[in-house]
Structure 1
Amino acid sequence: MFSPLLINCSVLISHPTGISAYLTNLLPSFSPLQPTLLSSQEINDFNCYQIPKKLSPDHGSIGHFRRLVWTQKKLPKIYHQLNANLLFSPIPEAPLYSSCRYVVTVHDLIPLRYPQRFSPLTPYFRFYIPQVLKQAEHIICNSQATADDIINFWQIPASKITPILLAYNQQHFFPSPTPQKNNYFLYLGRHDPHKNVSRVIKAFAKFPDVNYQLWLAGSVDKRYTPKLQQLVTQFGLLDRVHFLNYLPYFQLPDLIRGATALVFPSLWEGFGLPVLEAMACGTPVITSNCSSLPEVAGDAAILVDPTNVDQIADSMIAIATNSYLRSSLIEKGLNRASQFSWEKTGQATVDVIKQFL
């Protein structure tokens, strides 16, 4: 027995991160609709239709290419074979120029805002995704900032877009019953230029207390990390700035809980999950006053101009030296984080899908 609703699960991987984690957390809310999942693996309590393996993001560029070909060539046939009425895709990919009706999710437009030379993502975002969105029944995105980008870059009408904020794992990220802050500031994320890590290092160079350290948690990237390491050497911070490389998911909560503050002044984010996770762990947050980050942080973080190194540095000093400010940010952050849940995100997503079934 197949459902009129198909969910494209080709992005699922065994240890979910990113978009795979997004879909994994949404699926329980879809249960009442009894969808058919297009998946290469069996998923408990759901009717699944077997699709090829090696289409997911963990197979790199070749997996991406295989998935695009499968989406265009095979997915329309499956859609009609199963008498589907609607396809939901957690990424902005769907069959073009077909009779398939679909709703897709857009997470960010960073490859357009910060294009990288010779990146295959640039033509993907310039030519393929706009066509997908124009032919979609509706578009879900993870912040108003992303909705505004969709409108401004591609002239998609606002009435066709619904922003639905993401959430976090409440069983994983929560405050310690015996809080103990150590003398380190934490950055969590990639080293891409738009992440603004160079200014985090420059701001830390202005921090006067030599007993504090800066920990940079995120995968080393041969394109960008060497320049950041040169900057650390230039400022004489080799003994105070530590590159932690990639850390397993289970290590993140303790790392976040122990930090004096999360410093996350990214130039642009589609959502900014580390901000929410840090607030949930009871850690003060310094983040940017632009893109989606104010939507996530509300009044529970220090918002700075991410291009202003002095503002970032002054915020770090304030949190380290002002116990009242630190306590206030912790309390506000915990209250703010409590407003987010995957149940709420999932139900809002299902409510949109129902309108088009």
Structure 2
Amino acid sequence: MSPVSPRSAAGPLAATLLDLPAGSPGGSVELFLDLYTGDRPLIPARAFMLGPSNPSRLPPAGLDLLPVAGKCLEGPAFGNYVTALRRALTAAIDPNQIGVLHLQHLAFGATPALIRALPLHPRIALVHGTDLIFAETHRDQLRVLRETARAADAIVVPTEAMADRLLKLAPQTDRRKITHIPWGIPDHLLTAPPPRPTHASTSHLRLLYAGRLTAEKGVAALIKGLAPVPGVELSIAAPRAQFHALAPLLKRAGVRAHYLGWLPRQQLWKAFAEHDVLVMPSTTLEAMGLVALEAQACGLPVLYQPVPGLSEALAATGVATDFTNSAALARDLDRLRTSPGLLSALRQAGYANATRYPLSTTAQALIDLGHQLS
């Protein structure tokens, strides 16, 4: 299927596009940048995101920006958007230099655009989670997801839960295409995590929420659940506009939250070391929950809603709770605050869990899969 294409020593050169503006928040963006960009990328690639041709801030080394506007999800405008992406990719890529396509998400515009721009190359589709969520609520995205599942030569899922959800949405998918490759976190975070400061003992439990504040992340349930709970302090690291939109709910609930800003990666890791518990109240699913694994690598225990993906990645190395049940949440927070040795035991178990997921292992598995297909 593949045209004759040169390979680097590390593997066939991949072409990949994440159709989000450079600088967008989210774990899938961080994973994308970790794998494909930098002076020595883990996976050799022509990697693209969206952005102006002359950005005010230079993108990371190895990342090219496509000046394509009009991202949308449905209707004729979606078709026009895919066409614009395909034209931009065709102008930017020499097909003879590419060995394999890495399709980020099974849905959205980047995937059909990349397939149409490079129709003869083998295709590895990566399931991230939001593609499944949006396919459940947008007819055109469900169509793209099913078309991609048929067209892909391999479909990579980070957890078995994502495979189960995909097969519910696209039951005709050839199960033999599905490969389980867990996502990973930077190796250097595992070998040299930030030191945890020694704090004077406090009766308050310092909670941290880190991530986007979109509906499926469950922050509304978190705030309502925390309202009657004494002895906790909440910090939020999130995009500024999303935090401001949350302010009325915080006020109604009477919950005071310390806003940390949308922190650069290194600062977020330091923030992990300065809190007692990471809260993850996601309502629907998480592809894997990379922020939880990064927190565990930094010695921060995780309190989480046991949704698909998170349950698999964390299991008993975190504490599962029900953020929609104030009594259950209060009970689990009180146990974390008052049980001698519990937080220390969770820190040890969490770090051991995080070490199972080095990013270098993820990259090598994807490179090996590319070798098999090209």
TM-score when normalising by structure 2: 0.75
State the 1:351 CA deviation. Answer: 2.1
Identify the match of residue 360 of structure 2 among 327, 343, 346. 343
State the 1:314 CA deviation. Answer: 1.8
Q: Structure 1 residues 356 and 201, CA, compared in 2 at 3 Å: closer, same or farther?
A: same
Q: Return the letter of the residue paired with 2:195.
A: S
Mapped to 2, the partners of 1:81 and 1:169 lie a distance apart of: 30
Please state whether the residue corresponding to 1:233 is helix, strand or coil: helix
| RMSD over aligned Cα atoms | 3.5
Please state whether the residue corresponding to 2:66 is helix, strand or coil: coil
Which is further off, 255-264 or 180-189?
180-189
State the 1:353 CA deviation. Answer: 1.7
Mapped to 1, the partners of 2:218 and 2:170 lie a distance apart of: 26
Note if 1:135 corresponds to 2:151. yes
5+ residue gaps, structure 1: 116-121
Alpha-carbon deviations, 1:3-27, whole Å to 9, x = none?
2644224439776864443234334
Note if 1:25 corresponds to 2:29. no
- Could you tell me whether the CA contact under 8 Å between 1:179 and 1:257 is conserved in 2? no
Note if 1:89 corresponds to 2:103. yes
Please state whether the residue corresponding to 2:179 is helix, strand or coil: strand
- Could you tell me whether the CA contact under 8 Å between 1:90 and 1:104 is conserved in 2? yes
- The equivalent of 2:14 in structure 1 is 7
Q: Return the letter of the residue paired with 1:197.
A: V
State the 1:127 CA deviation. Answer: 2.1
State the 1:352 CA deviation. Answer: 1.8
Note if 1:167 corresponds to 2:170. no
Mapped to 2, the partners of 1:179 and 1:158 lie a distance apart of: 50
Note if 1:297 corresponds to 2:347. no
Alpha-carbon deviations, 1:18-48, whole Å to 9, x = none?
44432343344445xxxx636699998x9x9
Mapped to 1, the partners of 2:98 and 2:352 lie a distance apart of: 42
Mapped to 2, the partners of 1:265 and 1:69 lie a distance apart of: 37
State the 1:2 CA deviation. Answer: 4.9
- The equivalent of 1:61 in structure 2 is 71
- The equivalent of 1:119 in structure 2 is none
Please state whether the residue corresponding to 1:216 is helix, strand or coil: strand
Q: Return the letter of the residue paired with 2:135.
A: L
**Sequence identity of aligned pairs in percent?**
23
Which is further off, 87-96 or 129-138?
87-96
Written as runs of structure 1 = structure 2, the 5 A alignment for 1:163-312 is 163-172=180-189, 174-176=193-195, 178-180=197-199, 183=204, 184-209=206-231, 212-221=232-241, 226=245, 228-237=246-255, 240-267=256-283, 268-312=285-329
Note if 1:105 corresponds to 2:123. no
Mapped to 2, the partners of 1:241 and 1:21 lie a distance apart of: 25
Mapped to 2, the partners of 1:60 and 1:275 lie a distance apart of: 33
- Could you tell me whether the CA contact under 8 Å between 2:225 and 2:323 is conserved in 1? no
- Could you tell me whether the CA contact under 8 Å between 1:25 and 1:346 is conserved in 2? no
Q: Return the letter of the residue paired with 1:231.
A: L
State the 1:70 CA deviation. Answer: 5.2
Q: Structure 1 residues 69 and 19, CA, compared in 2 at 3 Å: closer, same or farther?
A: farther
Mapped to 1, the partners of 2:34 and 2:248 lie a distance apart of: 39
- Could you tell me whether the CA contact under 8 Å between 1:146 and 1:292 is conserved in 2? yes
Mapped to 2, the partners of 1:303 and 1:60 lie a distance apart of: 40
Q: Structure 1 residues 314 and 350, CA, compared in 2 at 3 Å: closer, same or farther?
A: same
Please state whether the residue corresponding to 2:236 is helix, strand or coil: strand
State the 1:204 CA deviation. Answer: 1.7
State the 1:255 CA deviation. Answer: 1.5
State the 1:91 CA deviation. Answer: 3.8
